[in-house]
Structure 1
Amino acid sequence: MTAARGPELTRIDGTPLRVLVVDDEPNIAELLRMALRYEGWDVEVALNGSKAVAAARKFSPDAVVLDMMLPDFDGMEVLRRLRADSADVPVLFLTARDAIEDRVAGLTAGGDDYVTKPFSLEEVVARLRALMRRAGAQQTAEHSVLSVGDLLLDEDSHDVSRAGTAINLTATEFELLRYLMRNPKRVLSKAQILDRVWNYDFGGQANVVELYISYLRKKVDAGREPMIHTMRGAGYVLKPVEA
């Protein structure tokens, strides 16, 4: 199961932090994008070095997640060009597990940290948070109570209620509901839910999502106007009940 989000980090002006993800593997780039968006950050993705440099100039990221191996030019060259435009932007390198020389070269050239592949999303997020705190990002108080319609979820106490009636959830049910409540009115695919609740490398089948959605429905929607909806062929969405 994924770890809970920490206190939010923002720019000095209170707007969301911006992260540029550079990786030529679309699946990895998309997983990182989803995980970082879950943190409340704005995320741009580039699949090669030239697009990364162009995106950085337009997007002005507060941090960059940069793969060392790219199809046009390598991460070292991307770093050099990024530093020419923005000398202080923190850069987290993604390197192959056995490429020790890449890690040394990246840090020597001015990279701030590295994570080896395969990596956990939690590790990437934790290292980025540390880099951005050192770079001066502001930490704000976490709003511990999520509210969608008459459904309330306290992230600190793990209390859940609907219309004032307490709902008892297992740890996995709680994490699934929290993800749905953090994305109200947004259709979430089974793949996205597997990534967020069971980790992206979960080896099971997508029917585990169907199973836990059914568990939640029995507890959240039982005897009430339903809030959890199936969007056939797309995923699931949590919607407040219209008055």
Structure 2
Amino acid sequence: MKILIIEDDPKIRTYVGKGLKEAGHVVDLAEDGEIGLHRALHEKYDVLIIDRMLPLLDGLSIIKTLRGSGNLAGVLILSSLGDVDDRVTGLRAGGDDYLVKPFAFVELLARVEALGKRASLPLSAQSTTLKAGNLEIDLLAHKVRCNGKIIDLQPREFRLLEYLVKFKGQLVTRTMLLESVWDYHFDPQTSVIDVHISRLRKKLGDTGNTLIKTVRGAGYIVDDSF
């Protein structure tokens, strides 16, 4: 993938750029908002990593300008602003994902690659329906069907299943789930995730047990290769 990093902190910019290159991606760097916007408008990128607080032009303004121009590249917002309102604002501005500093590079890489896969789909495939095996999630109607039968899920269970299926085939860490589904930026040291995973599996029956796999000590993965 071709990735643009717009980040004014030289240490983070260099560290992330180096890591992404080692993972086999082509990376361009921009140290302020104006340079970043110019490159994003004049070159084609699969994914953009954009800091919110930038010199000359802030990250949200960049994203709004890009979306206004029809740019559909995946956008990961990288920021030290981690309150729920900050993240909601970033996503509503047109960001696809939001990662709070400090972060683990392995999680950033997983999120970037997931965005790249989604961006590479033809427009016809970028629908409001997610599928995994015989499971289908209607994002607009907030309905889940398994083997053609509607499954009654609580809102939190729906969000959890949606997030797992969006990252189908990839490891989803407990940290990713806590941040994205529960809005926690710390580990509450409870079994809240395990309890909800157990409920999901039970409601989905044999499909849930086969589809949602536990990676001991790391997280979960949706595997529909069966």
Tell me the TM-score range normalised by the shorter chain.
Answer: 0.5 to 0.7
* Pair 1:236 & 2:220 matched: yes
Taking a change above 3 Å as real, the CA distance of residues 237 and 53 of structure 1, as seen in their structure-2 partners, is closer
* Pair 1:125 & 2:110 matched: no
Q: Is the 8 A contact 1:150 1:162 kept in 2?
A: yes
Q: Is the 8 A contact 1:195 1:201 kept in 2?
A: yes
Instruction: State TM-score, norm by structure 1.
Output: 0.54
User: What's the offset of the Cα at 1:208?
Assistant: 1.3
For the residue of structure 1 that corresponds to 2:127, the secondary structure is coil
User: What's the offset of the Cα at 1:50?
Assistant: 5.4
* Pair 1:149 & 2:149 matched: no
**Counterpart residue type for residue 124 of structure 1:** G
Out of 22, 32, 37, the residue aligned to residue 79 of structure 1 is: 32
Specify the alignment match of 1:59 in structure 2.
27
CA distance in 1, matches of 2:37, 2:158: 41
CA distance in 1, matches of 2:161, 2:136: 10
More helix by share: 2
Q: Is the 8 A contact 2:171 2:220 kept in 1?
A: yes
Out of 186, 190, 199, the residue aligned to residue 170 of structure 2 is: 186
Deviates more, 1:142-151 or 1:199-208: 199-208
Instruction: State TM-score, norm by structure 2.
Output: 0.57
User: What's the offset of the Cα at 1:163?
Assistant: 0.9
Specify the alignment match of 2:198 in structure 1.
214
**Counterpart residue type for residue 141 of structure 2:** S
Q: Is the 8 A contact 1:22 1:48 kept in 2?
A: yes
User: What's the offset of the Cα at 1:215?
Assistant: 1.1
**Counterpart residue type for residue 143 of structure 2:** D
**Counterpart residue type for residue 160 of structure 2:** L
Look at both structures and tell me which one has the larger radius of gyration over its CA atoms: 1
Out of 208, 211, 226, the residue aligned to residue 227 of structure 1 is: 211
Specify the alignment match of 1:67 in structure 2.
none
Specify the alignment match of 1:22 in structure 2.
7
Unaligned runs of 5+ residues in structure 2 are: 21-25, 42-48, 62-78, 96-122
Q: Is the 8 A contact 1:221 1:228 kept in 2?
A: no
| Percentage of pairs with the same residue | 23
Specify the alignment match of 2:76 in structure 1.
none
**Cα deviation 1:51-99 (Å, max 9, x = unaligned):** 68999xx5247xx7xxxxxxxxxxxxx329x73x97454896544xxxx
Taking a change above 3 Å as real, the CA distance of residues 184 and 154 of structure 1, as seen in their structure-2 partners, is same
Q: Is the 8 A contact 1:92 1:111 kept in 2?
A: no
CA distance in 2, matches of 1:116, 1:187: 24
Taking a change above 3 Å as real, the CA distance of residues 224 and 181 of structure 1, as seen in their structure-2 partners, is closer
The alignment yields a C-alpha RMSD, in angstroms, of: 4.2
CA distance in 1, matches of 2:17, 2:207: 54
Taking a change above 3 Å as real, the CA distance of residues 79 and 197 of structure 1, as seen in their structure-2 partners, is same
**Counterpart residue type for residue 20 of structure 1:** I
Specify the alignment match of 2:102 in structure 1.
none
CA distance in 1, matches of 2:207, 2:167: 24
Aligned pairs, number:
170
CA distance in 2, matches of 1:49, 1:17: 15
**Counterpart residue type for residue 183 of structure 2:** N
CA distance in 1, matches of 2:88, 2:3: 18
**Counterpart residue type for residue 196 of structure 2:** Y
Q: Is the 8 A contact 1:226 1:241 kept in 2?
A: no
**Counterpart residue type for residue 27 of structure 2:** F
User: What's the offset of the Cα at 1:47?
Assistant: 3.6
CA distance in 2, matches of 1:147, 1:210: 23
